[in-house]
């Protein structure tokens, strides 16, 4: 069994900060073919990976969830704490440049902020097979 992120578009809580930081750092988000956290995010790619590894009766299911935080600020702090890749992309930047990037990230995430809190949809893929 494998649990993986779906495509970058389906996991905006991670993809938006990484895309923005990467663009500002001159290192765009790696395409899904490259090894990385979204490399198996396409259902056909995950299934093919299981098939190539010799599994049979392979099934891939998408599961949608919502990341919930009390506020946008709480969600952004969590993002800062759990996405070391974003900090690595910004390592060569000045403090002021990093804060500008985080402001842009905040602006992009504001679309998920509402009366019920900061709610960000995301999708995982679960792949299973028999060896």
Count structural domains, the chain: 1
Euclidean distance between CA atoms 113 and 124, whole angstroms:
21
pLDDT value at 105 more than 60: yes
The pLDDT of residue 32: 46
The pLDDT of residue 36: 79
Q: Hey, which bits of the chain come out as E strands?
A: 2-5, 56-69, 113-114, 117-130
The pLDDT of residue 29: 58
CATH code, 101: 3.40.50.150
Tell me: the pLDDT tens digits for 41-65? 999 999 999 999 999 999 999 999 9
Residue closest to 37 by CA, chosen among 80, 10, 8: 8
Spatial contact of 72 and 66, defined as CB atoms under 8 Å apart: no
- Domain hosting 19: range is 2-130
Question: Backbone phi, then psi, for 30, in 5-degree steps?
Answer: -65, 140
């Amino acid at each position: 069994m494998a649990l993986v992120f779906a495509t970058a578009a389906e996991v905006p809580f991670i993809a938006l900060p990484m895309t923005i930081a990467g663009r500002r750092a001159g290192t765009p988000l790696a395409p899904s073919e490259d090894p990385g956290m979204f490399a198996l995010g396409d259902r056909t790619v995950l299934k093919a990976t299981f098939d190539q590894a010799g599994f049979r009766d392979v099934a891939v299911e998408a599961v949608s969830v919502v990341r919930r935080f009390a506020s946008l600020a709480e969600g952004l702090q969590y993002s800062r704490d759990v996405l070391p890749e974003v900090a690595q992309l910004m390592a060569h930047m000045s403090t002021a440049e990093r804060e500008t990037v985080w402001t842009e990230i905040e602006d992009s995430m504001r679309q998920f902020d509402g009366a019920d809190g900061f709610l960000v949809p995301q999708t995982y893929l679960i792949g299973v097979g028999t060896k």
